[in-house]
Chains A and B, each alone.
Chain A
Amino acid sequence: MIDLRETTLHPVFRFVIAKRWWVLAAYALLLAASIPYAVKVEQDNAFDRLIVRTDPDYIATREFSKVFGGGEYVVLFAEADDPFSADVIGTVDALDRRLQAVPKVGSNSIFSIYRRARPGADPTTDPDAFKKFATGTKLFARQGLVGPGFYSVPLIFDVRSTSEREQVLRAIDAAAADVLKGSTALKALRRAGEPYVNDYMNRKSNEGGMRLVPVFCLFVVALVMGLYRSLRTLAAFAVSLGVNAALAVGWIGLTGGTFTIVSALVPMTILITCLATLVYIHSRFVERPPETGVDEHQVFALANKFLACTASVFATAVGFAALAVSDIRPIREMGIWVAVGLVFTWLVAFTLFPALQKILRTPTQIERKTAAQWFLRVVDWMPRFSYRWRWVTVPASLLLCGIGAVSLFGFPGLLAPMKMLTHPTDYMPVDSDLYRDTRRVEQLVPGLSMADVWLRGKVGSLNQPEVIKGLDAFQRAIDAEPLVGSAVGPTTVLRMFRYVGGKGDVIPDDPGELEALTDNLEALLSQEPLLARFVDPKNMAQTHITLVTRINDFPSYEGLGRKMAALWSDTAAKHPALAKEFGNEPPRIVGIGRLQTKVAHNLVPTLTESFALSVVIIFSVFLIIFRNGAARLMAMIPSLFAILVMFAVMRATGMSLNVATILIASTVLGTSENDQIHFFYHFLERQKDGTTETGLRHTMLIAGRSIFFATLINSIGFLAFALSDLPPIRQFAILAAVAFVLSMIADFTALPGALWMVFRDRPDALKKQAQEVDTMK
């Protein structure tokens, strides 16, 4: 029986349907305006997109790049049994010269240094002289330029866009392939560096996106045809979804947004939510009683689903908007973009979709029988089942929640909190060449994490001979630190030049020689690109010492910062010129390496903060809609159950938290609470004048099937991401799908079980039996 009483919403929807062609025209205009912006949105997985622009460390790193140049940096590693054999020297020298010829690329290999130091000298014609040069000092080995069984060829290049980076990397690869064609001199040529990782991620994200679209389209066709068995309905769904996606991505383009590894999830998240909302609305629409006209029933269905759909879309939107508190930029952007996209979902669902239903004359169950008639048997079975097993399902779900919480946060003394991964290689498949190369390179050199100790002094500080002496002492002190793999600074370069000049590889003590060295530093700046990357040439006020480390966590970087402060204090005490020129404050550590660990470190607080905010907001929505204390609490059970059990699944299967899986909690909460809103809306609709059993039956009859199909939509929709080549996205897909199914299981078991307990009620048949027993007494 349907309550057809007129509400204030009825005239609104009558108006929308009456003006359906105007609605369609308005959306056509919006679509035309959106598409140019939508196609502008690019993919860029560069690491600096992971952190918000207001982060002080990010700002410092950017300022640092402005002073010392922000070129991108890759390293090629040439492995060979005997690096000093003529064949190997010839091959790597040819490679180096060929790479130097690639536009925008500069090499700083030992071969380049040799040629600069010995103009006209050819390492291939006199390999012994080259070997003597390369092994006559530890400076080159400390920098990882040459080592047992390998040479490294560090390449620096300036690019301004993703496509430019792609072009340069392809040119490097082509040059390397050309030189190595037919050569057996090298055992392997390996590539490493963030630009390669970014390029890999961009390509894979794009390829993944290209695969997702047809999969999602097929899914929509299968679902709509399977559920409603109507091409007209399919057309209404397809147009609504397309418009929703175009408006959302167009808005991202309008605001200058760029997709990163996780924000590529945005369109799909919006589409899945939109599809679920349309299924809720249309499922109500198709349940037309024979005695009611189609137009009248359409207005009723829209009005009936308006509050629940609005509440659920609003709660989801606000739940995602809560991610805006994150310091991790893609997560913040994803939150905001999904929230805005869901506003479009809501508009499309209640304006364009009804207009299309009317224009396309989508059939109801009178004209075409809908699928899943078997669900009526579930409706009969569920209330009794949930009552009978309530003391099993509710405690079991709470226990599983506890296990999930321990899996995430750990248990003091027993289990460590779940591990965070943000290193770029963590995003790559372990069987990819780039992953293998990176891991191998990490074994060859003292780390791939780079950070810089930034020293900011006064104009001409680096012209002071005593400063150069002090800086050298500071750098050597850093170099000796166990946490540091190697430290390279301006005095390394000066020492290298002294070595090349046959004066040994140390900074001199003699004041006259030191004075000459500072003069030389100034002159060399315009000639030596390597040195220019260490000193600001105008003011000679700033310099830095680059650290190569194996540090991969933020607390270790904090520890290194403290150690650095102590070293600075000690060195400045011995070399007062340092404190005079650079101040007593210890120098700041900046750079991508530190930022990466900071992002990792902030992941859990971000997760907790945004999740807590989502919970509060959704709880408030429930409070406003239902005004029922018990309902408020119970409504959260399935989502919390799904989220926490999912963390237990992660722990059990060895998955880790990363920039994608960190979003699981908010995504699952934001998406699955829709079901609970619909569940409670219809439960209270009937329970307030009836019993718990009648409320549950009504809920299952009206919302149960939609919950089942919404779960199917969410699970399969997100599961489409499992086709991605990127492990974090694959893991996200699988976990999200598992979580949605878990949430649905809780919707149909633990949640009604808990409701029986809270309302201290029993099934009507049992109550009747008890009454009969009482009467008989």
Chain B
Amino acid sequence: MRQTSAIAFLVVCLLPAAAAFAGRHDVVVHVTRLGGDSASAQPYLDRFLRYLESQAGWPAGSAKGSFTVTRKEMTSYISSAEPGIGMLEPQAYIELKKGLNLEPIVQVESKDLVSDKFHLVVKDPAIKSLADLKGKRLWTTLADYPGYLSKVVLGGQVQAASHFELKQIGQALKGVRGVLRGDCDATVLDDEQLAKAREIEGGKDLRTIHSSERLPHIPIVAIGTDLPAAERATLIKVFTGLCGTEKGAAICKEMHIERFVPINAAVFRDAEKRFGQ
């Protein structure tokens, strides 16, 4: 009887801890360049999570996750599901870091998903500087993050929300075609996207009028303040080895991830500094 009571006591005491543990393993993914929507991405994310569980030694099925396309979807998921881990676009990380207590753990290396630099690209020869774009239409995947766009990408030269007529787009090349068609006046591209843009009919006429400093890559972040140091160390170890096995490489490839590497602290620090944190 005493033994039973002791077990019951332990169960009652440990339940909240177990719940907190489970919550921390839920994952939110907000990477615009992955494409697709929540439903179509879910099977890929589930496979990724099952593998993550197996590598981290978590109970099978303990991690849940959601792929979110927009900022609104992401914040809504975070506030409702309170996931412990996020794979977020750097603009989301920088803008939401303070409010959500985000802590970067590792960063993603991927040709398809990350951008080292952004360029502000126009076609109209009359537009030569950021000032010339005052009141003009800017289509970008960063429109939902005007603070990041203004301070980190554009170096604080303009307040994007007021300087441009901003429109959020899901895919960068849509902005290129918008510029080429005259539907908008400027767009924001990284090096690879710019190279692709030049291959589009009329793309040779595109010009860069501003280039950003080096930008942080997509971080894997811990959401909240309750990640113990040991758990953090474990996560770093798990993630950096995740794509190293044959099975892991295949799963990472499905997510367009080449590997996870430790955070480039200097670049993150510079970006955060420019943002004013």
Chain A residues within CB distance 8 Å of chain B: 117-121, 458-460, 463, 497, 500-503, 515-516, 518-520, 522-524, 526-527, 538-541
Q: Assess the B177–A463 pair: CB atoms within 8 A.
A: yes
| Shortest distance from the beta carbon of B189 to any chain A beta carbon, whole Å | 14
Stretch touching chain A among B56-64, B142-150, B178-186, B237-245:
B178-186
- Can you report 26 A-B residue pairs in the complex whose CB atoms are below 8 A from each other? A117-B40, A119-B46, A120-B47, A459-B181, A460-B174, A460-B178, A460-B181, A463-B178, A500-B40, A501-B38, A516-B69, A518-B174, A520-B35, A520-B37, A522-B35, A522-B173, A523-B35, A523-B36, A524-B35, A526-B35, A538-B199, A538-B200, A539-B177, A539-B201, A540-B173, A541-B201
The yes or no answer to B169 lying at the interface (CB within 8 A) is yes
Cβ proximity bits B10-52 to A, threshold 8 Å, 1 near / 0 not: 0000000000000000000000011111111001101100100
| Shortest distance from the beta carbon of A207 to any chain B beta carbon, whole Å | 45
The yes or no answer to B170 lying at the interface (CB within 8 A) is yes
8 pairs of A and B residues whose beta carbons are closest in the complex: A523-B35, A519-B170, A460-B177, A501-B39, A522-B171, A119-B43, A501-B40, A120-B47
Which single member of A459, A501, A520 contacts B170 (CB below 8 Å)?
Answer: A520
The yes or no answer to B254 lying at the interface (CB within 8 A) is yes
**For residue A541, which residues in chain B have a CB less than 8 angstroms away from its CB?**
201
The yes or no answer to B202 lying at the interface (CB within 8 A) is yes
A539 and B197 CA atoms in complex are apart in Å by: 9
Q: Assess the A460–B183 pair: CB atoms within 8 A.
A: yes
Q: Assess the A119–B44 pair: CB atoms within 8 A.
A: yes
Cβ < 8 Å to A, chain B residues 232-261: 254
Q: Assess the A458–B43 pair: CB atoms within 8 A.
A: no
Q: Assess the A459–B34 pair: CB atoms within 8 A.
A: no
Q: Assess the B43–A463 pair: CB atoms within 8 A.
A: no
| Shortest distance from the beta carbon of B185 to any chain A beta carbon, whole Å | 15
Which single member of B170, B200, B202 contacts A522 (CB below 8 Å)?
Answer: B170
For A118, A121, A523, A538, which residue has the most chain B Cβ atoms within 10 angstroms?
A523
**For residue B44, which residues in chain A have a CB less than 8 angstroms away from its CB?**
119
| Shortest distance from the beta carbon of A613 to any chain B beta carbon, whole Å | 45
| Shortest distance from the beta carbon of A352 to any chain B beta carbon, whole Å | 59
| Shortest distance from the beta carbon of B53 to any chain A beta carbon, whole Å | 14
For B36, B177, B180, which residue has the most chain A Cβ atoms within 10 angstroms?
B177
| Shortest distance from the beta carbon of A480 to any chain B beta carbon, whole Å | 28
User: Closest chain B residue to A463 by CB distance?
Assistant: B174
Given A519-B170, A522-B174, A459 and B200 contact (CB-CB distance below 8 Å): yes
Chain B residues within CB distance 8 Å of chain A: 33-40, 43-44, 46-47, 50, 69, 112, 169-171, 173-174, 177-178, 180-181, 183, 196, 199-202, 254
| Shortest distance from the beta carbon of A275 to any chain B beta carbon, whole Å | 59
Q: Please give 14 more A-B residue pairs, beta carbons under 8 A apart, in addition to A120-B47, A121-B43, A501-B39.
A: A119-B44, A119-B254, A120-B50, A459-B200, A459-B202, A460-B181, A502-B39, A516-B170, A520-B170, A523-B36, A523-B170, A527-B35, A538-B199, A541-B201
| Shortest distance from the beta carbon of B121 to any chain A beta carbon, whole Å | 15
Q: Assess the B177–A540 pair: CB atoms within 8 A.
A: yes
A527 and B178 CA atoms in complex are apart in Å by: 23
| Shortest distance from the beta carbon of A401 to any chain B beta carbon, whole Å | 60
| Shortest distance from the beta carbon of A497 to any chain B beta carbon, whole Å | 6
Q: Assess the A524–B202 pair: CB atoms within 8 A.
A: no
Q: Assess the B36–A520 pair: CB atoms within 8 A.
A: yes
A522 and B69 CA atoms in complex are apart in Å by: 14
Which single member of B43, B112, B177, B201 contacts A120 (CB below 8 Å)?
Answer: B43
User: Closest chain A residue to B141 by CB distance?
Assistant: A519
**For residue B69, which residues in chain A have a CB less than 8 angstroms away from its CB?**
516, 519
A503 and B38 CA atoms in complex are apart in Å by: 11
Q: Assess the A523–B180 pair: CB atoms within 8 A.
A: no
A502 and B177 CA atoms in complex are apart in Å by: 30
| Shortest distance from the beta carbon of A88 to any chain B beta carbon, whole Å | 24
| Shortest distance from the beta carbon of A764 to any chain B beta carbon, whole Å | 85
A526 and B34 CA atoms in complex are apart in Å by: 10
**For residue B35, which residues in chain A have a CB less than 8 angstroms away from its CB?**
519-520, 522-524, 526-527
**For residue A502, which residues in chain B have a CB less than 8 angstroms away from its CB?**
39
**For residue B180, which residues in chain A have a CB less than 8 angstroms away from its CB?**
459-460
| Shortest distance from the beta carbon of A194 to any chain B beta carbon, whole Å | 32
Q: Assess the A516–B43 pair: CB atoms within 8 A.
A: no
User: Closest chain B residue to A527 by CB distance?
Assistant: B35
**For residue B181, which residues in chain A have a CB less than 8 angstroms away from its CB?**
458-460
| Shortest distance from the beta carbon of B230 to any chain A beta carbon, whole Å | 31
A463 and B181 CA atoms in complex are apart in Å by: 11
A629 and B9 CA atoms in complex are apart in Å by: 126
Q: Assess the B178–A119 pair: CB atoms within 8 A.
A: no
User: Closest chain A residue to B112 by CB distance?
Assistant: A526
A527 and B253 CA atoms in complex are apart in Å by: 11
**For residue B169, which residues in chain A have a CB less than 8 angstroms away from its CB?**
519
Q: Assess the A503–B39 pair: CB atoms within 8 A.
A: yes
User: Closest chain B residue to A115 by CB distance?
Assistant: B43
Q: Assess the B178–A497 pair: CB atoms within 8 A.
A: no
| Shortest distance from the beta carbon of B117 to any chain A beta carbon, whole Å | 21
**For residue A518, which residues in chain B have a CB less than 8 angstroms away from its CB?**
170, 174
A501 and B41 CA atoms in complex are apart in Å by: 9
A523 and B170 CA atoms in complex are apart in Å by: 9
**For residue B173, which residues in chain A have a CB less than 8 angstroms away from its CB?**
522, 540
**For residue B38, which residues in chain A have a CB less than 8 angstroms away from its CB?**
501
Q: Assess the B36–A524 pair: CB atoms within 8 A.
A: yes
Q: Assess the A519–B174 pair: CB atoms within 8 A.
A: yes
User: Closest chain B residue to A120 by CB distance?
Assistant: B47
**For residue B37, which residues in chain A have a CB less than 8 angstroms away from its CB?**
501, 516, 520
User: Closest chain A residue to B43 by CB distance?
Assistant: A119
A335 and B140 CA atoms in complex are apart in Å by: 61
Q: Assess the B46–A120 pair: CB atoms within 8 A.
A: yes
**For residue A500, which residues in chain B have a CB less than 8 angstroms away from its CB?**
39-40
| Shortest distance from the beta carbon of A522 to any chain B beta carbon, whole Å | 4
A523 and B183 CA atoms in complex are apart in Å by: 20
| Shortest distance from the beta carbon of B28 to any chain A beta carbon, whole Å | 18
Q: Assess the A539–B47 pair: CB atoms within 8 A.
A: no
A524 and B201 CA atoms in complex are apart in Å by: 21
Q: Assess the A523–B200 pair: CB atoms within 8 A.
A: no
A512 and B50 CA atoms in complex are apart in Å by: 33
**For residue A121, which residues in chain B have a CB less than 8 angstroms away from its CB?**
43
| Shortest distance from the beta carbon of A722 to any chain B beta carbon, whole Å | 56
A121 and B47 CA atoms in complex are apart in Å by: 10
Q: Assess the B177–A118 pair: CB atoms within 8 A.
A: no
| Shortest distance from the beta carbon of B276 to any chain A beta carbon, whole Å | 30
Which single member of B33, B39, B40, B177 contacts A459 (CB below 8 Å)?
Answer: B177
A523 and B112 CA atoms in complex are apart in Å by: 11
| Shortest distance from the beta carbon of B99 to any chain A beta carbon, whole Å | 25
**For residue A516, which residues in chain B have a CB less than 8 angstroms away from its CB?**
37, 69, 170
| Shortest distance from the beta carbon of B25 to any chain A beta carbon, whole Å | 19
| Shortest distance from the beta carbon of A132 to any chain B beta carbon, whole Å | 15
**For residue B254, which residues in chain A have a CB less than 8 angstroms away from its CB?**
119
For B178, B180, B200, which residue has the most chain A Cβ atoms within 10 angstroms?
B200
A463 and B43 CA atoms in complex are apart in Å by: 26
User: Closest chain A residue to B167 by CB distance?
Assistant: A515
**For residue A459, which residues in chain B have a CB less than 8 angstroms away from its CB?**
177, 180-181, 200-202
User: Closest chain B residue to A462 by CB distance?
Assistant: B177
Q: Assess the A118–B43 pair: CB atoms within 8 A.
A: yes
For A503, A522, A540, which residue has the most chain B Cβ atoms within 10 angstroms?
A522
A524 and B199 CA atoms in complex are apart in Å by: 19
User: Closest chain B residue to A119 by CB distance?
Assistant: B43
User: Closest chain B residue to A515 by CB distance?
Assistant: B170
**For residue A119, which residues in chain B have a CB less than 8 angstroms away from its CB?**
43-44, 46-47, 254
A515 and B46 CA atoms in complex are apart in Å by: 26
For A463, A502, A503, which residue has the most chain B Cβ atoms within 10 angstroms?
A463
User: Closest chain B residue to A519 by CB distance?
Assistant: B170
**For residue B177, which residues in chain A have a CB less than 8 angstroms away from its CB?**
459-460, 463, 539-540
| Shortest distance from the beta carbon of B200 to any chain A beta carbon, whole Å | 5
| Shortest distance from the beta carbon of B219 to any chain A beta carbon, whole Å | 21
User: Closest chain B residue to A460 by CB distance?
Assistant: B177
A121 and B46 CA atoms in complex are apart in Å by: 11
**For residue A526, which residues in chain B have a CB less than 8 angstroms away from its CB?**
35, 112
A671 and B36 CA atoms in complex are apart in Å by: 67
